[in-house]
Structure 1
Amino acid sequence: MFLQKTLAIVNSELELFKLKIQYPSPFQNRNNNLPSSPLYLTDETFLVEIMELVSGLFLIKRVVTHTGKESPLAEIGRTFEWLFNIKLGDIHKKHENVICRKANKRTEFLDLLRKVIIEESEKKGYL
């Protein structure tokens, strides 16, 4: 009996496989229609640094959906995943990890971005 059920499952999988070959479009993942981003992060960039950006944009509430509603944290995170070809994993957990970091580490990457922008401005003579 067990072998008959196993054989039936295998036969069903083979039939599904044949259908995927014969009619591939219904089986395609719709997300694959998006072109992949040409951008990648260097090895020196940590995911928690990107999460500082994601968390900041979410908390400031300046990112909206196409309907004008406030964008959910996960949607902002998924967009950054696509943008930089990364996987953040559990975005809500990573967001909490950013928020609960020690005060001197909480915005370390954002502080670095601020610093390099100020340095570039001063280097070019803007005060």
Structure 2
Amino acid sequence: MFLQKTLAIINAELNLLDLRIKHPEPFQQQKERTSISPLYLTTETYLVEIMEIVSGLFLSKRIVTHTGAESPLTEIGRAFEHLFNIKLGDIHKKHESVISRKPSKVTGFLDTLRKAITEESKNKGYL
């Protein structure tokens, strides 16, 4: 009786292996589809500068989740990580490092962005 059950199990396993060989697709594990962003930061760009943007968006409360709720800081940070293929690490710690900087440096990168936009506007004759 024991041998018959053992043989039945072995036969079932052999049939399964045969199916896997003949039709491998259903047996392959679905790989998580993670798309890689085509965007990367230059070596001149520091993560704390990106955190200025993340912190500004978070504090402005202009980013919401699909339910309409205010987006948590970490979700905005993770979105930027995905967008630029970066790792910000401890987003709350980096946020604190942005808002605790000297007043003249709190928005240094955002000021650079503002200047770049203003300069382009002047170059095109809008200002």
Q: Tell me, what secondary structure is at the counterpart of 2:49? A: helix
Match of 1:3 in 2: none
Residues in 2 aligned to 1:63 and 1:34: alpha-carbon distance in whole angstroms? 23
Aligned length: 102
Match of 2:29 in 1: 25
Match of 2:37 in 1: 37
Residues in 2 aligned to 1:108 and 1:45: alpha-carbon distance in whole angstroms? 12
Q: Structure 1 residue runs of 4+, over 2 Å off?
A: none
Unmatched segments (≥5 aa) in structure 2: 1-26
Query: What TM-score do you get using the length of structure 1 for normalisation?
Result: 0.76
Query: What TM-score do you get using the length of structure 2 for normalisation?
Result: 0.76
Identity %: 70
The letter of the residue matching 1:25 is: Q
Cα deviation, residue 33, structure 1? 1.3
The letter of the residue matching 2:49 is: E
Q: Tell me, what secondary structure is at the counterpart of 1:25? A: coil
Note the alpha carbon deviations across 1:78-113, whole angstroms, 9 max, x for none: 000000000000000000000000011110000000
Residues in 2 aligned to 1:24 and 1:50: alpha-carbon distance in whole angstroms? 39
Match of 2:61 in 1: 61
Q: Tell me, what secondary structure is at the counterpart of 2:110? A: helix
Residues in 2 aligned to 1:51 and 1:42: alpha-carbon distance in whole angstroms? 15
The letter of the residue matching 2:34 is: L
Residues in 2 aligned to 1:93 and 1:46: alpha-carbon distance in whole angstroms? 15
Residues in 2 aligned to 1:101 and 1:79: alpha-carbon distance in whole angstroms? 24
Match of 2:94 in 1: 94
Larger Rg computed on CA atoms: 2
Match of 2:4 in 1: none
Unmatched segments (≥5 aa) in structure 1: 1-22
Cα deviation, residue 24, structure 1? 5.0
- 2:74 is the alignment partner of 1:70: no
Residues in 2 aligned to 1:24 and 1:106: alpha-carbon distance in whole angstroms? 50
Tell me how large the CA RMSD over aligned residues is.
1.5
